[in-house]
Chains A and B, each alone.
Chain A
């Protein structure tokens, strides 16, 4: 056991002392932060421009009722046929042209027929949201006009409308809201992605570390002192500790950065509150967002994350270690990487596509019990609330598989680290199990 501790220690210290670790730990959050800011910026730039739309209204119905908004500027033309209107619109370099033909009977207007005769003409295909916005505007005007024409009082209709927002509660009596749903999805996604990322990053770190010992041939000296399985476990544990350190640093960093950011911008939390009070909608949004986070089963998430993170990393770590031992160089490892990547990618997609739809549905439930996908899928499900017993079953399956995997990996590892100069096939690996 003392030997394993030494190996863990060496593995940990060499990796943490490495400049690459420091760089990655500091740069990754910056990179992610920067990227999301950049995307946010691009989106805002994309939305910012006001779209000019020419309305050639030959019916005279919309002239005073179709109003420009923050993002759309309508300008009206009268008494032009379609071709003339198109020409003008094109010269103006408009986003598009709404063409409304003349109506014959101006006293008794058939609004349904009118609505069917309106055209949108543009150079490029307009965005779906833009079309939806215009449609909604026109719909509303025409509907109101139609109501009036059959003698309905618009004010009365407006007064008698009912707006409803369902009060949500879970069977446990906990209140939930829509922002709860968003928080759950975002939280689950972040956790799942984090696991996915770490399995790959630290799995290949383990593989490289095994390869380093193999190619430098120091491994023969080491395994004359310790058992190969000890060496392998030491590597997996040491590297997992490095991963934990990295997450820990990230948590500390994000706390420091958010503290710094709020003081740097000169807005303390209380000020933020008072400003927000002027905008009750935003304030309540922010509050319900915060509340949503605290509504999550945070303790459960934390414990489950630690356990699934360790088990998942160990499981994949042992496979990566076996691959590192089997091959002679990193390039040779590619043939064995695919079978590892597939379950991970499947887990990520299953998690992203099915969990938010129905967290307790058949597919997410099955995949959160299959050991090779369960760490990721289960972490995505847990924010929605998963019965503890189900989590324990899934974790148990994962841990049992892990031990089985370590047993196999250790056999391959034991033989592989002393095999040089051949690129093993799956058949070879199978043979090694029997040595």
Chain B
């Protein structure tokens, strides 16, 4: 198996409250794995178990083929959602401290910090206190601290919150680069557009249960309904509409366009192909828009959650 992290039937209770119920998730090596779910679903509990902050009641977690143990702490870099640093400690000093806690030598940590500080052009922050920095600036320091010890597993909980678009982009590029260099990334977020952009695998957790997981494209394939969004230019829109509905399942659609064409969502039956549809349409009108409707991560998220109710 090429799974870097494998979570096997993990359950966790807090008193009478079940935070995780028999959750199993496999995270392939070198992937960016989106851990999705509404607030309070159990994502943070799962992340804390991976970080060995909490211990699962039942089930086991394997990292790179070994049962999770304290030597793995060095392998993991964690950026929690609720983040913060010592307010009155100097940036350089606390970065060094946190790096050493992750098992780096002081010398090594200093070298790496210099590399990252130069990369982010923040070399002159070394002697500043966190309290003197803006929120975005502190976030940058925190990101560096997370990745400094070159962990093979990176866990980001809402990494882009607090960043302006420019800095969010810088961070996004860094995450992609770290993935390319061989790190596996777990990415917990509500922001579906960043899931679309970054994740290749996802798991959806809802009310302490895993309700969906797998490769994002495969999931999309499962969720697609063979529906096509079409825009047709013709004079007799009503006639055309009737003609189409005699042969295909169609409903009115709306999307942004420049003209006043007829807009429809057409769903194919299993014996119909997209080429048949296109040929039929082009012989009856001018086709200026033809696109398969692929469900977005957001649609899948909402649909799955609603199905659970």
Contacts and interface: CB of A to CB of B under 8 A. Distances in A.
B partners with A:
yes
Given A218-B84, A220-B78, 12 more contacts: A10-B97, A14-B86, A212-B87, A216-B84, A220-B53, A221-B83, A223-B53, A224-B52, A224-B53, A224-B78, A228-B53, A418-B48
Interface string A392-435: 00000000000000000000000000101000000000010011
B15 A435 contact: yes
Contact of B84 (A217, A225, A435): A217
B80 interface: yes
A218 B85 contact: yes
Given A14-B89, A216-B86, A217-B84, A222 B15 contact: no
Nearest to A228: B53
26 contacts: A6-B97, A6-B101, A10-B97, A14-B86, A213-B86, A216-B85, A217-B80, A217-B83, A217-B84, A218-B83, A218-B85, A220-B82, A220-B83, A221-B83, A221-B98, A221-B145, A222-B98, A222-B101, A223-B53, A224-B53, A224-B73, A226-B101, A431-B15, A434-B15, A435-B14, A435-B15
A217 B86 CA distance: 9
B3 interface: no
B43 interface: no
A223 B142 CA distance: 15
B76 interface: yes
Q: How large is the interface on A (under 10, 10 to 19, 20 to 34, 35 or more residues)?
A: 20 to 34
Contact of B82 (A217, A222, A226, A228): A217
Nearest to B155: A224
A435 B14 CA distance: 6
A182 to B, nearest CB: 46
Interface of B: 14-15, 48, 51-53, 73, 76, 78, 80, 82-87, 89, 97-98, 100-103, 142, 145
Nearest to B99: A225
Contacts of B52: 224
B86 A225 contact: no
A3 interface: yes
A310 B14 CA distance: 35
Nearest to B157: A220
Contacts of A223: 53
Contacts of A7: 101
**Could you tell me the dominant secondary structure of chain A's interface residues?**
helix
A7 B98 CA distance: 10
**Could you tell me the dominant secondary structure of chain B's interface residues?**
loop
Interface of A: 3, 6-7, 10, 14, 212-213, 215-218, 220-226, 228, 418, 420, 431, 434-435
A3 B53 CA distance: 16
B109 to A, nearest CB: 12
Given A431-B15, A435-B14, A221 B80 contact: yes
Nearest to A222: B101
B173 to A, nearest CB: 23
Given A6-B100, A10-B97, A216 B87 contact: yes
B101 A220 contact: no
B181 to A, nearest CB: 21
Nearest to B15: A431
6 A-B pairs with least C-beta separation: A217-B84, A216-B84, A225-B101, A224-B51, A220-B80, A217-B82
Nearest to A219: B84
Contacts of A435: 14-15
A10 to B, nearest CB: 6
Contacts of A213: 86
Contacts of B82: 217, 220, 420
Contacts of A418: 48, 53
A180 B100 CA distance: 54
Given A221-B98, A225-B98, A431-B15, A212 B86 contact: yes
Contacts of B14: 435
Nearest to A230: B101
Contacts of B85: 216, 218
A217 B87 CA distance: 10
Name the residue among B52, B80, B86, B101 with the largest chain A CB count within 10 angstroms.
B101
A420 B80 CA distance: 14
A225 B149 CA distance: 12
A220 to B, nearest CB: 4
Nearest to A215: B84
B73 A218 contact: no
A279 to B, nearest CB: 57
A223 B102 CA distance: 10
Nearest to A435: B14
Contacts of A221: 78, 80, 83, 98, 142, 145
Nearest to A213: B86
A220 B76 CA distance: 13
B83 A225 contact: no
Contacts of B83: 217-218, 220-221
A431 B84 CA distance: 28
A217 B97 CA distance: 16
A435 B15 CA distance: 6
B105 to A, nearest CB: 11
Contacts of A217: 80, 82-84
B132 to A, nearest CB: 15
A225 to B, nearest CB: 4
Name the residue among A10, A218, A221, A224 with the largest chain B CB count within 10 angstroms.
A224
A213 B85 CA distance: 8
A216 B89 CA distance: 12
A216 B101 CA distance: 18
Contacts of B89: 14
Nearest to A226: B101
Contact of B86 (A6, A218, A228): A218
Nearest to B76: A224
Nearest to B79: A221
